Chains A and B, each alone.
Chain A
Amino acid sequence: MFKEVLPAGCPTQDDGICVGKYVLRFIAGPQATPQDFLSHAALKKPRPKDIDLCSWHSCSCWDASVAEHKVLGMLALPRLRKRYSHVAKMWIDEKAGRLRVKDTGHIDLWMYASFDPVASTKKVMSLP
Chain B
Amino acid sequence: MRKGREATSAKFIQTLVYHDGPQLLLLESDRGLNMLAVAIDRDDMENAFFACEMREKVFNKYIHNKADLGFVFRSTPRNRFYFFSLDDSGDGNIELTPAHANELYNSEYWPGPGFFSYSHTHDIIQGERYPSVSQAYNIDGSWEPSEFSRFSNKISDIYAFLFMTGRLADAQSAQSDRLLMKGIVSGRLWQGGGSYIGFYDEIASRVSEFNPLELDRIHYASPGEIVFRGEAQVFAEISQTVKQFAENTEELKSRYRLLNGILAKEKLKRADKSKGFSSRALEDQVAYETNLLAKSMRIPEAEKLRELCESTVIYCKVVLSYYRRVEALNTFRSEGRLEVAATVNNESMGEG
B131 within 8 A of A: no
User: Which chain A residues border B14 with CB–CB below 8 Å?
Assistant: 50
In chain A, positions 27-69 with a C-beta closer than 8 Å to chain B are: 40, 45-46, 48-51, 55, 60, 69
B247 within 8 A of A: no
| B50 and A78 contacting across the interface, CB-CB below 8 Å | yes
User: Which chain B residues border A55 with CB–CB below 8 Å?
Assistant: 18
**Chain A binder among B19-27, B230-238, B318-326:** B19-27
State the CA gap A69–B69 with chains docked (Å).
Answer: 15
| A70 and B119 contacting across the interface, CB-CB below 8 Å | yes
User: Which chain B residues border A50 with CB–CB below 8 Å?
Assistant: 12, 14-15, 122
B118 within 8 A of A: yes
In chain A, positions 101-120 with a C-beta closer than 8 Å to chain B are: 102-104, 106
User: Which chain A residues border B69 with CB–CB below 8 Å?
Assistant: 76-77
Q: Name the one of B50, B92, B122 contacting A49, with C-beta atoms under 8 angstroms.
A: B92
User: In the complex where A46-B86, A82-B108 touch, is A77 in contact with B18 (Cβ < 8 A)?
Assistant: no
| B38 and A74 contacting across the interface, CB-CB below 8 Å | no
State the CA gap A74–B112 with chains docked (Å).
Answer: 9
Q: Min CB distance, B227 to chain A, in Å?
A: 17
B351 within 8 A of A: yes
State the CA gap A40–B122 with chains docked (Å).
Answer: 17
User: Which chain A residues border B21 with CB–CB below 8 Å?
Assistant: 40, 45, 79
Q: Min CB distance, A34 to chain B, in Å?
A: 15
| B19 and A106 contacting across the interface, CB-CB below 8 Å | yes
A75 within 8 A of B: yes
A72 within 8 A of B: yes
Q: Name the one of B23, B47, B122 contacting A77, with C-beta atoms under 8 angstroms.
A: B23
Tell me the nearest residue of chain A to B113, going by C-beta: A76
B103 within 8 A of A: no
User: Which chain B residues border A9 with CB–CB below 8 Å?
Assistant: none
| A60 and B112 contacting across the interface, CB-CB below 8 Å | no
Instruction: Report A4-38 CB contacts with B as 1/0, cut-off 8 Å.
Output: 00000000000000000000001000000000000
| A73 and B20 contacting across the interface, CB-CB below 8 Å | no
| A48 and B86 contacting across the interface, CB-CB below 8 Å | yes
State the CA gap A83–B119 with chains docked (Å).
Answer: 19
User: Which chain A residues border B86 with CB–CB below 8 Å?
Assistant: 46, 48
User: In the complex where A49-B92, A76-B68, A76-B69 touch, is A60 in contact with B111 (Cβ < 8 A)?
Assistant: no
| B112 and A76 contacting across the interface, CB-CB below 8 Å | yes
| B351 and A104 contacting across the interface, CB-CB below 8 Å | yes
B198 within 8 A of A: no
User: Which chain B residues border A40 with CB–CB below 8 Å?
Assistant: 20-21
User: Which chain B residues border A76 with CB–CB below 8 Å?
Assistant: 68-70, 111-115
Q: Min CB distance, B188 to chain A, in Å?
A: 40
18 contacts between A and B (CB under 8 A): A40-B20, A40-B21, A45-B21, A48-B12, A48-B15, A48-B86, A55-B18, A72-B114, A73-B115, A76-B70, A76-B115, A77-B38, A77-B111, A79-B21, A82-B41, A104-B118, A104-B351, A106-B19
In the A-B complex, the 7 residue pairs with the closest CB atoms: A76-B115, A76-B112, A79-B39, A60-B19, A106-B121, A73-B114, A77-B23
Q: 6 additional contacts, CB 8 Å, given A40-B20, A51-B18, A80-B20?
A: A26-B19, A76-B113, A76-B114, A103-B351, A106-B19, A106-B121
Chain A residues packing against B (C-beta within 8 Å): 26, 40, 45-46, 48-51, 55, 60, 69-70, 72-83, 102-104, 106
